[in-house]
Homo-oligomer: A and B are copies of this chain.
Amino acid sequence: MASRIALIAVDWGTTSMRAYWLDATGAIVDTRSAPRGIQQIRDGGFAAALHELLGPAGEASVPRLACGMIGSRQGWVEAPYVPCPALLTSLVDGIVAVPGAGLRIVPGVTTRDANDVPDVMRGEETQLAGAVDAGESRVLAVLPGTHSKWACVESGRIVDFMSFMTGELWSVLLAHSILGRLAAPAATPEPPGEAFARGVRRGLGAGGLGHDIFGARTLALFGELAGHEVPDWLSGVLIGREIRNARSWARRHGYDASSVRLIGDDALVARYVAALALADVAVERADGHAAATGLWRLAVLAGLVQPHH
């Protein structure tokens, strides 16, 4: 296999890392992952973690390019944020090398919201590079996650984006607030059911989030929501409200926000599919390897690999 490999692409985040071996056409030949995100690595053991994941197939002669939190201040080497509007080519200019490791790291992207408060992404910029073609004139992209992102991408340029703490709010509120007291684990986590849809409809309406989520307590108290439905309902409210807020943000950028490109393929993404349908938003799915594709495209632009077609 080794002779055919043109690039080793590494998606290295907070809680896990995943490596992809790509051939000279950019096709994924192999992939391997480990629960070795930067939060799990102590005393700078990044080189050991990388060597362990890549193993004998990690020949130093093959270029390696990484994205994600590995390039943050808490990571291996910091790759400073590139400001919006961020061209793919400016991402390439911001790539930093890890001395002696044969690894390069893609920078994150930053923007400022209407109140001049900064926002940041690391890893998602590379997924966007993989999921949106440079020739597409205008795409509203959604990247669900602990801190989900919505991004306006135009002709290979990340014009602006916005983060929502949806995933973290859900887990923190269930684990540590009164909303978790009457909650029980969901009986059938997939697909999201009627309680999720009820939550989404509440979230899509006008309201105050600090009030609306309190219903996870009161509905359970009044027997109008079963304990096992509470997590689904709360998830629906939070995702619904995110969709409402993000759409009004996108409209201010001149998007009609009637369709989005959804990036990812996990269970959380399935919830967004259901919620976006309830919001009458058309969904186009990007495949689950957007990070690998993005790293490939950036490596080509950076001249790290010579693609064969």
Contacts and interface: CB of A to CB of B under 8 A. Distances in A.
A238 interface: yes
Nearest to A242: B210
Given A117-B202, A202-B115, A209 B211 contact: no
A275 to B, nearest CB: 14
Interface in A108-155: 113-115, 117-120, 147
Nearest to A177: B172
Given A175-B176, A176-B176, A169 B117 contact: no
On chain A, which size bracket covers the interface? 35 or more
Interface of A: 113-115, 117-120, 147, 162-166, 168-169, 172-173, 175-178, 201-202, 205, 207-215, 218-219, 221-222, 224, 238, 241-242, 244-246, 249
Contact of A208 (B205, B215, B246): B246
Given A117-B215, A120-B221, A147-B214, 13 more contacts: A113-B211, A113-B215, A115-B201, A120-B218, A162-B208, A165-B178, A168-B177, A168-B178, A172-B176, A176-B176, A208-B209, A208-B249, A209-B241
8 contacts: A119-B218, A162-B211, A163-B211, A165-B177, A168-B177, A172-B173, A210-B238, A210-B245
